[in-house]
């Protein structure tokens, strides 16, 4: 049972962060290599709230959204928007994204060292313990948060005028612009939301693994895998991709490390990527690109006897 | 005067595609922009909307200089542009597309959508469908409906009948002419089917290699056998 809960909590982290990664990919058509660091910023915001204010890490969820969202927004306005306006190619934008990642990760290292010195407590490799006075486990909170955020995001993107405009602006900027949508603002909002979701996912990481400035970077490949698996153009495909990646990694190594295979846990990260490659060979447009209804009809027609 | 274009030179980045284009348009006038492939017709439309780089010249809309305005600012002034390609939001439903078309409108939006659906009744049955599932004709109909929802003062249509069956194309063009008459809208129409476009237009602008070679009455262009047979294939 514990392994299932661990798999679920890991998947929640991947799902929340990969939704944001997909959103930024759709807006500028580049993978944001700095997205993992936005997750780490969320984790450090939670640490600051617990150490400096003495509050529960859950109280940091809104603050983590704001902190990581603001950094994402700043990177959009200071780096990507000026480059995009100058007609930079996808390669140039990608290199800018890698550079931003290195700057953010270095800044996190400097911040961790500075806080370690000033507070005389170690700001690396930190873990959050379950609060004895808190009625819910972090698995419950992270699951509820993921469900709540996904529901709110869905309602916002599909049932509000501004949300639909945001989808329109990221899909077809020139048409959106021609009908009066401020595409620049819509992109900025997308980056704010994407960064914010990464920040929220970061709050839950220290509950299950020691966290330091490298944590988000180490998780980035899993986020990419979830986005690609879900179908890079579909925000909600990342949910499906995230749960496949998260569950397969945790449950996969649990099953493979036991008898009779006894696979070393060092191979753990290879499991979701093996599944990613295999699934992409079967469905090149990702899981959300599969026409499930047609597939089901075909399977049923083969299974059921002909009348 | 609804629109005045003065010596417009435009292109993409440093590349100049059209040079020294000048014309004017009144409300209730339809200007057909004609010319062979690669003559710069679409670039002219994009330049009018602020989607191409303007190197020189002026665009005046109802006397106001709108040359440097951003596309969304022009849209809010009543200039509506329907591009040749990618003119609907593929991943949005027909209903969401129509809602987005009236993004800048407030209370009157649903009334406007109902009015437009009366003009294009086949769309009523397609409201819940994603735009990418529509046929070419249905898609062009949706693009035109989106333009009409916005209550345009100036309607810029870039080849609205491209790759449509002749009957559907005629229906779209006659609807454009009807809107021009009934709503008093100024229309700029880029069209490959020169004969069809000229039969409904008041004026014509013929472009060749980025320059204008004819500007005048549409029926006069039809009578100019030298130009119309050389550039438009009309004999």
Q: What is the DSSP string of chain A?
A: -HHHHHHHHHHHHHHHHHHHHHHHHHHHSS--TTHHHHHHHHHHHHHHHHHHH---GGGGHHHHHHHHHHHHHHHIIIIIHHHHHTT--HHHHHHHHHHHHHHHHHHHHHHHHHHHHHHSS--SSB-PPPPTT-SS-HHHHHHHHHHHHHHHHHHHHHHSHHHHHHHHHHH-HHHHHHTT--HHHHHHHHHHHHHHHHHHHHHHGGGTS-B-TTHHHHHHHHHHHHHHHH-TT-TTHHHHHHHHHHHHHHHHHHHHHSTTT---GGGTTHHHHHHHHHHHHH-TT-GGGS-HHHHHHHHHHHHSPP-
Which candidate from B51, B103, B146 shows the least CB-CB separation from A165? B103
In a domain, B185, yes or no: yes
Q: How far apart are CA A271 and CA A253, in angstroms?
A: 7
Asked whether the beta carbons of A137 and A6 are under 8 A apart, the reply is no
Q: How far apart are CA B88 and CA B160, in angstroms?
A: 12
Asked whether the beta carbons of A277 and A57 are under 8 A apart, the reply is no
Q: Average pLDDT, stretch B49-67?
A: 93
- What is the percent of chain B where pLDDT is above 90? 45
- What is the percent of chain A where pLDDT is above 70? 95
Partners of A85 on chain B (C-beta within 8 Å) are none
Q: How far apart are CA B227 and CA B217, in angstroms?
A: 14
What's CA A17's distance to the chain center, in Å?
1
Which candidate from A161, A171, A178 shows the least CB-CB separation from B90? A171
**pLDDT in the model for residue B94:** 95
> What is the tens place of the pLDDT at every residue in A196-205?
999 999 999 9
Best mutation target, B71, B75, B142, to test chain A (most A CBs within 10 A): B71
> What is the tens place of the pLDDT at every residue in B21-40?
999 999 989 999 998 888 99
What HEC string does A25-74 produce?
A: HHHHCCCCCCHHHHHHHHHHHHHHHHHHHCCCHHHHHHHHHHHHHHHHHH
**CB neighbours of residue A237 within 10 Å:** 24
**B76 contacts chain A (CB < 8 A):** yes
In a domain, A144, yes or no: yes
**B128 contacts chain A (CB < 8 A):** no
Question: Comparing A74 with B137, which gets the higher pLDDT?
Answer: A74
Residues across chain B = 235
**pLDDT in the model for residue A212:** 96
**B183 contacts chain A (CB < 8 A):** no
Q: How many domains in chain B? A: 1
The answer to whether A165 contacts B100, with C-beta atoms less than 8 Å apart, is: yes
Question: Comparing A202 with A221, which gets the higher pLDDT?
Answer: A202
Q: How far apart are CA A30 and CA A25, in angstroms?
A: 5
Provide the token pair at A272.
Answer: 């979701």
Q: Which uninterrupted H or E stretch holds B226?
A: helix B225-231
Residue A307 — pLDDT band, cuts 50, 70, 90? Answer: very low
In the predicted structure, residue A279 carries a pLDDT above the cut 60? yes
- Mean pLDDT for chain A overall: 89
In a domain, A272, yes or no: no
Q: How far apart are CA A201 and CA A39, in angstroms?
A: 6
**pLDDT in the model for residue A90:** 87
Provide the token pair at B66.
Answer: 């709108």
In the predicted structure, residue B230 carries a pLDDT above the cut 80? no
- What is the percent of chain A where pLDDT is above 90? 53
In the predicted structure, residue A124 carries a pLDDT above the cut 80? yes
Phi/psi of residue B215, nearest 5 degrees: -140, 120
Q: How far apart are CA B107 and CA B112, in angstroms?
A: 10
In the predicted structure, residue A88 carries a pLDDT above the cut 90? no
In a domain, A71, yes or no: yes
In a domain, B202, yes or no: no
Which candidate from A161, A164, A175 shows the least CB-CB separation from B86? A175
Distance from CA of A190 to the nearest CA of B (A): 17
Output the pTM of the full model. Answer: 0.78
The answer to whether A171 contacts B99, with C-beta atoms less than 8 Å apart, is: no
Residue A283 — pLDDT band, cuts 50, 70, 90? Answer: confident
What's CA A128's distance to the chain center, in Å?
20
> What is the tens place of the pLDDT at every residue in A92-122?
999 999 999 999 999 999 999 999 999 999 9
Asked whether the beta carbons of B100 and A181 are under 8 A apart, the reply is yes
Question: Comparing B222 with B59, which gets the higher pLDDT?
Answer: B59
**pLDDT in the model for residue B234:** 61
Nearest C-alpha neighbor of A215 from the set A229, A230, A204, A227: A204
Range of the domain at B88: 3-38+46-195
In a domain, B167, yes or no: yes
In a domain, B209, yes or no: no
Q: How far apart are CA A10 and CA A250, in angstroms?
A: 8
In a domain, A302, yes or no: no
**CB neighbours of residue A2 within 10 Å:** 8
Best mutation target, A179, A184, A231, A236, to test chain B (most B CBs within 10 A): A179
In a domain, B61, yes or no: yes
Asked whether the beta carbons of A266 and A249 are under 8 A apart, the reply is no
Range of the domain at A62: 2-218
**pLDDT in the model for residue A188:** 93
Distance from CA of A157 to the nearest CA of B (A): 11
Q: Could you tell me the CATH number of the domain that includes residue B57?
A: 3.40.50.300
In a domain, B220, yes or no: no
Nearest C-alpha neighbor of B104 from the set B77, B137, B64: B77
The answer to whether A178 contacts B146, with C-beta atoms less than 8 Å apart, is: no
> What is the tens place of the pLDDT at every residue in A247-260?
988 888 888 888 88
Q: Average pLDDT, stretch A126-137?
A: 79
Question: A233: nearest CA in chain B?
Answer: B91
In a domain, A260, yes or no: no
Q: How far apart are CA A44 and CA A55, in angstroms?
A: 14
Question: Comparing A27 with B3, which gets the higher pLDDT?
Answer: B3
Highest mean pLDDT among A91-105, A163-177, A273-287: A91-105
Nearest C-alpha neighbor of A200 from the set A73, A70, A63: A63
In a domain, A298, yes or no: no
Question: Comparing A131 with B116, which gets the higher pLDDT?
Answer: B116
**pLDDT in the model for residue B235:** 60
Weakest mean pLDDT among A150-154, A155-159, A229-233: A229-233
Asked whether the beta carbons of A41 and A35 are under 8 A apart, the reply is no
In a domain, B60, yes or no: yes
**B100 contacts chain A (CB < 8 A):** yes
Q: Which residues pair with B212 in a beta bridge?
A: B207
In a domain, B231, yes or no: no
Distance from CA of B76 to the nearest CA of A (A): 6
**β-sheet with B154-158: strand ranges across:** B79-82, B154-158, B186-190, B30-34, B203-208, B211-217
> What is the tens place of the pLDDT at every residue in B78-104?
899 998 888 899 989 999 999 999 888
Partners of B88 on chain A (C-beta within 8 Å) are 175
HSE, CB side, 13 Å, CA atoms: give it for residue A147.
8
Coil, helix or strand at residue B101? helix
Residue B167 — pLDDT band, cuts 50, 70, 90? Answer: confident
The answer to whether B87 contacts A167, with C-beta atoms less than 8 Å apart, is: no
In the predicted structure, residue B7 carries a pLDDT above the cut 90? yes
> Which residue has tokens 């749960």?
A243
């Amino acid at each position: 049972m514990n392994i299932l809960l661990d798999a679920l909590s890991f998947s929640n982290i991947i799902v929340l962060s990969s939704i944001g990664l997909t959103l930024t990919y759709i807006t500028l058509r580049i993978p944001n290599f700095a997205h993992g660091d936005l997750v780490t910023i969320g984790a450090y915001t939670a640490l600051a709230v617990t150490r400096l204010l003495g509050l529960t890490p859950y109280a940091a969820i809104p603050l983590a959204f704001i902190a990581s969202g603001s950094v994402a927004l700043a990177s959009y306005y200071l780096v990507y928007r000026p480059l995009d306006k100058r007609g930079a190619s996808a390669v140039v934008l990608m290199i800018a994204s890698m550079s931003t990642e290195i700057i953010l990760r270095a800044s996190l290292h400097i911040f961790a060292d500075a806080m370690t010195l000033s507070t005389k407590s170690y700001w690396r490799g930190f873990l959050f313990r379950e609060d004895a006075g808190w009625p819910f486990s972090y698995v419950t909170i992270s699951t509820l948060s993921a469900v709540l955020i996904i529901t709110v995001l869905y309602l916002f993107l599909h049932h509000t005028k501004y949300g639909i405009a945001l989808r329109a602006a990221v899909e077809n900027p020139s048409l959106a612009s021609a009908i009066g949508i401020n595409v620049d603002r819509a992109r900025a909002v997308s980056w704010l939301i994407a960064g914010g979701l990464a920040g929220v996912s970061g709050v839950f990481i220290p509950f299950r693994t020691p966290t330091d400035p490298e944590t988000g970077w180490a998780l980035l490949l899993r986020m990419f895998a979830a986005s690609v698996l879900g179908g890079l153009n579909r925000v909600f495909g990342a949910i499906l991709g995230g749960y496949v990646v998260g569950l397969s990694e945790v449950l996969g190594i649990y099953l493979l490390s036991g008898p009779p295979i006894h696979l070393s846990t060092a191979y753990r990260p290879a499991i979701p990527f093996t599944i990613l490659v295999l699934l992409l060979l079967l469905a090149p447009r990702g899981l959300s690109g599969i026409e499930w209804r047609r597939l089901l009809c075909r399977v049923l027609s083969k299974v059921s006897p002909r009348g | 005067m609804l629109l005045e274009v003065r010596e417009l030179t435009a292109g993409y980045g440093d590349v100049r595609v059209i040079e020294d284009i000048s014309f004017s348009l009144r409300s209730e006038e339809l200007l057909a922009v004609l010319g062979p492939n690669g003559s710069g017709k679409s670039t002219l439309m994009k330049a009018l909307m602020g989607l191409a780089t303007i190197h020189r010249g002026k665009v005046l809309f109802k006397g106001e200089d709108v040359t440097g305005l951003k596309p969304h600012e022009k849209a809010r002034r009543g200039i509506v542009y329907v591009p040749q390609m990618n003119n609907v939001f593929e991943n949005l439903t027909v209903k969401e597309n129509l809602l987005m078309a009236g993004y800048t409108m407030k209370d009157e939006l649903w009334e406007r959508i109902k009015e437009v659906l009366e003009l294009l009744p086949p769309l009523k049955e397609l409201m819940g469908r994603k735009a990418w599932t529509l046929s070419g004709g249905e898609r062009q109909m949706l693009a035109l409906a989106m333009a009409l929802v916005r209550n345009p003062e100036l309607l810029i249509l870039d080849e609205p009948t491209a790759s449509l069956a002749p009957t559907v194309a005629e229906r779209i063009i006659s609807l454009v002419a009807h809107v021009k008459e009934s709503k008093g809208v100024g229309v700029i129409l880029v069209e490959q089917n020169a004969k069809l476009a000229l039969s409904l237009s008041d004026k014509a602008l013929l472009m060749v290699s980025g320059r204008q070679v004819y500007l005048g009455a549409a029926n006069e262009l039809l009578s100019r056998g030298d130009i119309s047979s050389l550039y438009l294939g009309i004999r």
